[in-house]
Amino acid sequence: KCHVLVLVAVDQKIAWDGVNQEIAWDGVNEEIAWDGVNQEIAWDGVNQEIAWDGVNQEIAWDGVNQEIAWDGVNQEIAWDGVNQEIAWDGL
């Protein structure tokens, strides 16, 4: 499961080297990206997208509560509305 970050700051932007992290949001739109784990998080209250290497996981949904996660050999898809779940490991 993904824990959504709750941010109270408004119109804040953070960027620096070393880990190459960048954070920017204005209360309704947040974007986080950095190297090392190559993670990127962006959403505007109804649409969240998370992707990063290492585990090669990508999660995206927009109110229909869709979740996709895999690590190269194991993929799992689940969402509401039709309550569908798909899981496999290469087969």
How deeply is 43 buried, as exposed, middle or buried, from its count of CB atoms within 10 A (0-12, 13-18, 19+)?
Answer: buried
Q: What digits encode the pLDDT tens for the residues 38-58?
A: 445 544 444 445 544 344 445
3-state helix, strand, coil in the chain (%, to 5): 0, 50, 50
Strand partners, 68: 77
Q: What percent of the chain has pLDDT over 70?
A: 0
More confident residue, 82 or 58: 58
